[in-house]
Amino acid sequence: MIGSVLIYFMKIPDRDTEEIFNEQTFWETFKEGVIYVNESRVLQVVVLTTIFINLFLVGPMSMGLPLFVKNILNGNAMDFSLLEAGVAVGMLIGSVIIGVLNLTKNRGKIALISLFVSGLAFALLSFTTERWVSIFMLIIFGACLSATNIPFTSAIQSMIEEKVLGRVMGLISLASMGLIPVSYAITAFILSLGISIHYIMAGGAILVVMYTFFVYVNFQELRNVD
């Protein structure tokens, strides 16, 4: 909320041109973004994929990992820190690999395959009982998550017209960040029913794997995005 207020009061310097910019309300720009996304089947699937990742992976991981360490691994704060570090190291490795490869072709296919593998790694994590195996799974998970986000983002930005780029990326960010608290609430509710955290983590991961497989098979236009 504080960040939103600060952004609201940012002043854009006047340009030395005679162009006249029509001021639009938030809802007008938001509506333009929604209309633009609705006109593209690829962007619709991207938004839906973002929703799936944040609902069924990010929430269970962020909220469930401390419980997983305590209840399944019988670990302590140091074990939790090592698992968290595993995710960070994996994301760094994935980012470096994608940066070195400098992908310009088959970015949609690579992103979907990486998302599929990340879901598998997270599902396997939920059934591990050894600390080093859990860290290894999280390294794979983090690397594949980076290998999903970076190609997807760069490919989608290259497809969107510059005049609506901010609106559409803002909508995708809203679908991403805005649903994380919802994911926390869902995870907390399921936990309150007495279901073990490793079943929740496995269930979310399996749903993401099934969804990714469905998209890969049925949405050729996203699979073929360069």
Question: What pLDDT, in 10s, does the model give residues 133-182?
Answer: 999 999 999 999 888 888 877 777 777 777 777 777 877 777 777 778 88
pLDDT in tens, the chain (226 residues): 888 888 888 877 665 444 444 556 667 777 777 787 777 788 888 878 888 888 888 778 888 889 899 988 898 999 999 999 999 999 999 999 888 887 767 788 888 899 999 999 999 998 898 999 999 999 999 999 888 888 877 777 777 777 777 777 877 777 777 778 888 888 889 888 988 888 888 998 999 999 989 988 888 777 777 6
Evaluated on CA atoms 103, 92, 124, 181, the torsion sign reads: negative
Residue from 184, 205, 204, 196 nearest 73 by CA: 196
Alpha carbon distances (Å) from 158 to 152, 154, 173, 207 = 10, 6, 17, 29
Residue from 153, 144, 107 nearest 122 by CA: 144
Domains of the chain: 30-223 (1.20.1250.20)
Evaluated on CA atoms 60, 61, 66, 71, the torsion sign reads: positive
Residue from 100, 99, 107, 94 nearest 147 by CA: 94
Distance between CA atoms of residues 151 and 225, nearest Å: 10
Distance between CA atoms of residues 29 and 221, nearest Å: 27
| Residue 26 buriedness (CB in 10 A; 0-12 / 13-18 / 19+) | exposed
Distance between CA atoms of residues 151 and 155, nearest Å: 6
Alpha carbon distances (Å) from 68 to 28, 53, 186, 208 = 44, 19, 17, 19
Residue from 120, 165, 161 nearest 141 by CA: 120
Residue from 4, 36, 52 nearest 168 by CA: 36
Distance between CA atoms of residues 163 and 92, nearest Å: 32
Alpha carbon distances (Å) from 53 to 5, 109, 120, 130 = 28, 17, 13, 26
pTM: 0.79
